[in-house]
Amino acid sequence: MKKKMRTASLAMALVIACTSLIGCGNSGNSNTPGADTNQSTAVDAGNSSAEGDGATVDAAEELEHVTLKFYFFDGKKSETDHVWEEIANYVNEKYGLNVSFDVQFIAGSDYKDKMLVKAAAGDKWDLCFEGDWLSYYQMINKDAYMSLEDLLPEYAPNLYQTYLESGVLEAAKKNGKVVALPWTMRMNQRPYFQWRGDLAEAAGLNIDTASIQTIEDVEGLLVLLKEAYPDLYTIECSSLNAYLLQENLVSIGNDFVVSLNDPDLKAIPVDQTDAYRLMAEYGEKWQKAGYIWKDVLTDKLDHNQLIDQGRLITKWGDRETTTIQRAWVDENAYWEYNMLYPENLWANRTALANCMCIPQTSENPERTLMFLELLHMDQDLYDMVHYGIPGLTYELNGEAADYPEGMNSSNSNYMDWGGRWGLWDSNFIRPTGQYSEGFWQDQADFADSYEYNVVSPLDGFNFDTEPVKTEMTQVKQLYDEAHKMIEVGLAGNSDAAVDKLIQDRKNAGIDKVLAELQRQIDEFAANK
What per-residue confidence (pLDDT) applies to 327? 84
Distance, in Å, from the CA atom of 244 to the CA atom of 218, rounded to the nearest integer, reads 15
Q: List the one residue out of 128, 163, 101 whose CA is nearest residue 422.
A: 128
* Count of positions (residues) in the chain: 528
What per-residue confidence (pLDDT) applies to 12? 52
CB atoms within 10 A of CB 26: 8
Round the average pLDDT of the chain to a whole number and report it: 89
Secondary element (H or E) of residue 338: strand 335-339
- Asked if 87 contacts 97 with a C-beta cutoff of 8 angstroms, the reply is no
What per-residue confidence (pLDDT) applies to 175? 85
Q: Does residue 232 or residue 463 have the better pLDDT?
A: 232
- Indicate the burial class of 293 (C-beta count within 10 angstroms; 0-12, 13-18, 19 or more): middle
If you average pLDDT over residues 193-200, what whole number do you get?
Answer: 98
117-138 pLDDT, tens per residue? 999 999 999 999 999 989 998 8
**CATH-assigned architecture of domain 2-184+354-388:** 3-Layer(aba) Sandwich (3.40)
44-56 pLDDT, tens per residue? 333 333 333 333 4
Q: Classify 11 as helix, strand or coil.
A: helix
Q: Does residue 31 or residue 513 have the better pLDDT?
A: 513
Residue 409 confidence (pLDDT) above 70:
yes
If you average pLDDT over residues 370-395, what whole number do you get?
Answer: 97
Band of the pLDDT at 253, cuts 50, 70, 90?
confident
If you average pLDDT over residues 326-334, what whole number do you get?
Answer: 92
Distance, in Å, from the CA atom of 365 to the CA atom of 146, rounded to the nearest integer, reads 9
What per-residue confidence (pLDDT) applies to 61? 55
What per-residue confidence (pLDDT) applies to 86? 98
- Asked if 301 contacts 173 with a C-beta cutoff of 8 angstroms, the reply is no
Q: List the one residue out of 285, 159, 318 whose CA is nearest residue 219.
A: 285
- Asked if 89 contacts 43 with a C-beta cutoff of 8 angstroms, the reply is yes
Band of the pLDDT at 527, cuts 50, 70, 90?
confident
If you average pLDDT over residues 263-286, what whole number do you get?
Answer: 98
Characterize 113-152 residue by residue with b for buried, 16 or more Cβ atoms within 10 angstroms of its Cβ, and e for exposed: eebbebbeeeeebbbbbbbbebbbbbbbbbebbbbbeebb
Band of the pLDDT at 13, cuts 50, 70, 90?
low
Considering the entire predicted model, what is its pTM? 0.81
Distance, in Å, from the CA atom of 19 to the CA atom of 50, rounded to the nearest integer, reads 10
Question: What are the boundaries of each domain within the chain?
Answer: 2-184+354-388, 252-276+465-528
Distance, in Å, from the CA atom of 158 to the CA atom of 111, rounded to the nearest integer, reads 30
If you average pLDDT over residues 343-351, what whole number do you get?
Answer: 95
Residue 275 confidence (pLDDT) above 70:
yes
Characterize 299-336 residue by residue with b for buried, 16 or more Cβ atoms within 10 angstroms of its Cβ, and e for exposed: eeeeeeebbbbbebbbbbbbbbbbbbebbbeeeebebb
- Asked if 297 contacts 481 with a C-beta cutoff of 8 angstroms, the reply is no
Characterize 355-366 residue by residue with b for buried, 16 or more Cβ atoms within 10 angstroms of its Cβ, and e for exposed: bbbbbbebbbbb
466-520 pLDDT, tens per residue? 899 999 999 999 999 999 999 999 999 999 999 999 999 999 999 999 999 999 9
What per-residue confidence (pLDDT) applies to 27? 35
- Asked if 357 contacts 142 with a C-beta cutoff of 8 angstroms, the reply is no
Band of the pLDDT at 25, cuts 50, 70, 90?
very low
